[in-house]
Amino acid sequence: MWNIAALVLVVAGTASCYITCPDGKVCSDQSTCCLTKEGYACCPVTHQVPWTALVQASDSTPQAGVIRCDTKFYCPSGTSCCKGLTGKWDCCPFPLGTCCADGQHCCEYGYTCDPTSFKCRKGYSQIPSVNKTEAECLIRLFNGLLGDQSDRRVGNGLDRGKFRNILHNTFGMTDDMIMDRVFRAFDKDNDSYVSVKEWIEGLSIFLRGTLDEKIKYCFDVYDLNGDGYISREEMFHMLKNSLIRQPTEEDPDEGIKDLVEITLKKMDHDHDSRLSYADFEKAVRDENLLLEAFGTCLPDAKSILAFEQHAFQDTLEH
């Protein structure tokens, strides 16, 4: 998950690349934005570093705080799991490391594997919304949450029930349908578990995503059947769950149907009686309040602050 801001200036017919930090500070292409106690600063960066070789994962009795690859194999704390050349689990020495396609190497968080140079590259304008130290805090929190699950499930990640409890108890969500869809939005590989990588990447958008990222995330949540559209029927079901019925209403469904028609009139720009991603994106950019038009699927500012103070306590104390 990245906040990308690139500034290209043309001087005397020669294009030069610069990086604009989130606070507006501009850095040259020989540096990168880094967050310090005083705010963003320009820090030197090595754009290419050698690939790092993987080491074999262990299947002995695990200690507390390890990174589980599955129910049998694990890697030490502060590392990450990668599938090796033979399909077995190996360990990358970096938390949230990038596994290279060759099955023998990995790169540090924020870098990509370059198969042409056999090195790790870092983009000039890529700034993670969750930094490395915060990612390590989220990994520790993830491992703590896994402690409540049985050995059979713990190797895969957070199951649907545990994840829904987090959404309800930590972020105050109550709509069962929306919570299930948020789970699916985090569970990118559709294996019915949220892995540590999916946990970090999902929270990156959930807590600090850009408007572009949140538009994509909310649309995915509201597209209940995953066909690329939000249909009349899907709008009806979501609005029916999120609205409070009055006991005096004879047929409350009629009121919801009317609301669906009003919503379509407002958001359906191509007039095909359903919302495409383009429809949804345009409507939200015109009016940001429509981002969560069909139900609350993002945390409010108070919940975000409380979560970050708890999760990132160690980084705030230093």
Confidence at residue 140, expressed as pLDDT on a 0 to 100 scale: 87
Helix (H, G, I), strand (E, B) or coil at 314: helix
| R_g (Cα) of the chain, nearest Å | 22
Is the pTM above the cut of 0.75?
Answer: no
Confidence at residue 31, expressed as pLDDT on a 0 to 100 scale: 59
* 277 pLDDT more than 90: yes
Distance CA 284, CA 282 (A): 6
Of 234, 245, 253, 75, the residue nearest 155 (C-alpha): 75
* 147 pLDDT more than 90: no
Over range 190-212, report the average pLDDT: 89
* 32 pLDDT more than 60: no
Structural contact between residues 21 and 13, judged by C-beta atoms closer than 8 angstroms: no
Structural contact between residues 110 and 103, judged by C-beta atoms closer than 8 angstroms: no
Residues above pLDDT 70, as percent of the chain? 74
Confidence at residue 62, expressed as pLDDT on a 0 to 100 scale: 64
Worst-scoring range by mean pLDDT, 11-15, 138-142, 146-150, 251-255? Answer: 11-15
* Residue 39 or residue 119, greater confidence: 119
Tokens of 71: 């129910």
Structural contact between residues 138 and 131, judged by C-beta atoms closer than 8 angstroms: no
Q: Which fold has domain 129-318?
A: Recoverin; domain 1 (1.10.238)
Distance CA 88, CA 48 (A): 28
Tokens of 254: 């009629």
pLDDT in tens, 149-167: 544 444 578 999 999 999 9
* 219 pLDDT more than 80: yes
pLDDT in tens, 88-116: 899 988 877 888 888 888 888 777 887 76
Residue ranges of domains in the chain:
2-45, 49-128, 129-318
Worst-scoring range by mean pLDDT, 3-7, 74-78, 170-174? Answer: 3-7
Please list the alpha-helical segments (H only) found in 99-245.
Answer: 132-146, 151-154, 160-171, 176-186, 196-208, 211-222, 232-242
Worst-scoring range by mean pLDDT, 8-12, 197-201, 234-238, 249-253? Answer: 8-12
* 267 pLDDT more than 90: yes
45 phi-psi bin (left φ>0, alpha ψ -120 to 50, beta other):
beta
Distance CA 99, CA 110 (A): 12
Of 39, 15, 9, 36, the residue nearest 25 (C-alpha): 39
Tokens of 20: 């604009």
Confidence of residue 183 (pLDDT cuts 50, 70, 90): very high
Structural contact between residues 65 and 58, judged by C-beta atoms closer than 8 angstroms: no
* 279 pLDDT more than 50: yes
Confidence at residue 127, expressed as pLDDT on a 0 to 100 scale: 40
